[in-house]
């Protein structure tokens, strides 16, 4: 499972990107449903 540092960094950045997108969607629905 060894990968080059560049590949690991790229995957980590992509995961962070999708985490932020998911958090934004969840927050959007949260504020949409709560009121």
Sign, CA dihedral 7-8-9-11, equals positive
pLDDT at 15: 82
User: How many residues in the chain?
Assistant: 35
Pairwise CA distance, residues 7 & 5, whole Å:
6
pLDDT at 7: 58
Q: Taking the CA atoms of the chain, what radius of gyration do you get in angstroms?
A: 15
pLDDT at 20: 93
Helices first, then strands: H and E counts in the chain: 1, 0
0.85 cut: is pTM over it? no
pLDDT at 23: 95
Say which residue, 6 or 31, is predicted with more confidence.
Answer: 31
Q: pLDDT tens digit string along 10-35?
A: 667 788 899 999 999 999 999 999 87
pLDDT at 3: 56
């Amino acid at each position: 499972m060894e990968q080059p540092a560049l590949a690991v960094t790229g995957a980590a950045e992509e995961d962070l990107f999708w985490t932020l997108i998911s958090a934004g969607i969840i927050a959007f629905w949260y504020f949409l449903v709560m009121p």
